[in-house]
Amino acid sequence: MEPDRLIEISDPGDLRIAEFTAIRERDLTGRHGQFVAEGTVVLSMLARAHAGAGPVRAEKLLLLKNRVAGLSGLLSQFPEDVPVYVAEAPVLDAIAGFHLHRGVLALGSRAAPPDLDAMITCLPQDALVLVGCGISNHDNIGSLFRNAAGFTADAVLLDETCCDPLYRKALRVSVGAVLTVPYARQGRAEDVLGALTKAGFEIWALSPAGKTEIGAIAPGRRVALVMGTEGEGLPQAILERFHSARIAQAPGLDSLNVGTASGIALYALARAMGRLG
């Protein structure tokens, strides 16, 4: 990477990197679609997303100075108009508000997701969709996106009570999948599932009390897997209205966490649909 592209920061209060200040205590989601990405894996996903024709763009990078040489190949994937700021460890830690051992931050932006109906209309005829209802834990949201990417889901649809997947922690747990998997977050769960039903989707609601074991499902061409929050799970009205599925597990165990359960269920459905090699 050309040395003259690097902009050194020596003052933690420098306004040019203000978005990175105290990132543990605050988040940029909801502010013009901006988000903070952390770590080399997420940075590589951001570079890929920026290079595509999608809604994600990189705004600026902030790196530990001694990490630059090792990241030169990755940094070259970003256009010249994306500024690259560098700082020594004490300055970078003062900016972030904690010891940033990864030494890699990026500010990105995402255009507003499309309308729910528009997203559903754009889905392929053979489609697998993951739906989240009432999931407010950032780790769980990140896990949903990571599993969606790993098991070929075409989109993630979240109801309005789910947390924003662009939160820094959710983005990190997803290892950048939030930047590549299409998603929408709006409306009540019943409205999301109603729109999918209208579009010809077969709805499977996952619950420990589900009627059909997940491995026994013979899915059709368009399938939606519905996940609820840990503890309360999915509303009874949803379990009664749609097909319900369960994951066989040891007696006496209440339930699996959302990340594990969604991974097992998506794997089973994707394999049954012939989507995995």
Taking only the tens place, the pLDDT of each residue in 179-236 is 999 999 999 999 999 999 999 999 999 999 999 999 999 999 999 999 998 778 899 9
| pTM of the predicted protein model | 0.92
Q: For residue 260, what are the contacts with CB-CB under 8 A and spacing of at least 6?
A: none
CB 140 within 8 A of CB 230: yes
DSSP-assigned beta bridge partners for residue 58: 108
Q: Convert the pLDDT of each residue in 9-50 to its tens digit.
A: 999 999 999 999 988 766 777 667 899 999 999 999 999 998
What integer is the mean pLDDT of 66-91? 94
Query: What is the pLDDT, as a whole number, of residue 99?
Result: 85
DSSP 120: H
CB 265 within 8 A of CB 206: yes
Asked which of 12-16, 119-123, 245-249, 251-255 is least confident by mean pLDDT, the reply is 251-255
Give the pair of three-digit tokens for residue 190: 């019943």
The dihedral of CA 205, 210, 211, 215: what is its sign? positive
Query: What is the pLDDT, as a whole number, of residue 165?
Result: 93
Name the residue ranges covered by the structural domains of the chain. Answer: 3-110, 116-272
Split at pLDDT 50, 70, 90, the class of 53 is confident
Query: What is the pLDDT, as a whole number, of residue 180?
Result: 92
Asked which of 167-176, 185-194, 250-259 is least confident by mean pLDDT, the reply is 250-259
- Does residue 89 surpass a pLDDT of 60? yes
What integer is the mean pLDDT of 165-184? 93
- Does residue 3 surpass a pLDDT of 70? no
Query: What is the pLDDT, as a whole number, of residue 102?
Result: 85
- Does residue 1 surpass a pLDDT of 60? no
Q: DSSP string covering 41-108, please?
A: HHHHHHHHHHHSSSSEEEEEEEEEGGGTGGGHHHHTTS-TTS-EEEE-HHHHHHHHTS--SS-EEEEE
Give the pair of three-digit tokens for residue 136: 């407010």
Q: Could you give the CA distance from residue 234 to residue 261 in angstroms, rounded to a whole number? A: 13
Q: DSSP string covering 234-252, please?
A: S-HHHHHHSEEEE----TT
CB 133 within 8 A of CB 161: yes
CATH number of 3-110: 3.30.1330.30
CB 17 within 8 A of CB 9: yes
What integer is the mean pLDDT of 61-83? 93
Query: What is the pLDDT, as a whole number, of residue 143?
Result: 97
- Does residue 159 surpass a pLDDT of 80? yes
What integer is the mean pLDDT of 75-104? 92
What integer is the mean pLDDT of 125-146? 97
How are strands ordered across the β-sheet holding 183-185?
183-185, 155-158, 127-133, 222-228, 202-206, 243-246, 212-213
CB 94 within 8 A of CB 64: no
CB 106 within 8 A of CB 58: yes
Q: Could you give the CA distance from residue 192 to residue 136 in angstroms, rounded to a whole number? A: 17
Q: Could you give the CA distance from residue 1 to residue 268 in angstroms, rounded to a whole number? A: 44
Tell which CATH classification among 3.90.25.10, 2.70.70.10, 3.10.20.30, 3.40.1280.10 matches the domain 116-272: 3.40.1280.10
Mean pLDDT of the chain: 92
H or E segment at 172? Answer: helix 168-173
Query: What is the pLDDT, as a whole number, of residue 2?
Result: 59
What integer is the mean pLDDT of 40-64? 91
Q: Could you give the CA distance from residue 166 to residue 189 in angstroms, rounded to a whole number? A: 20
CB 209 within 8 A of CB 264: no
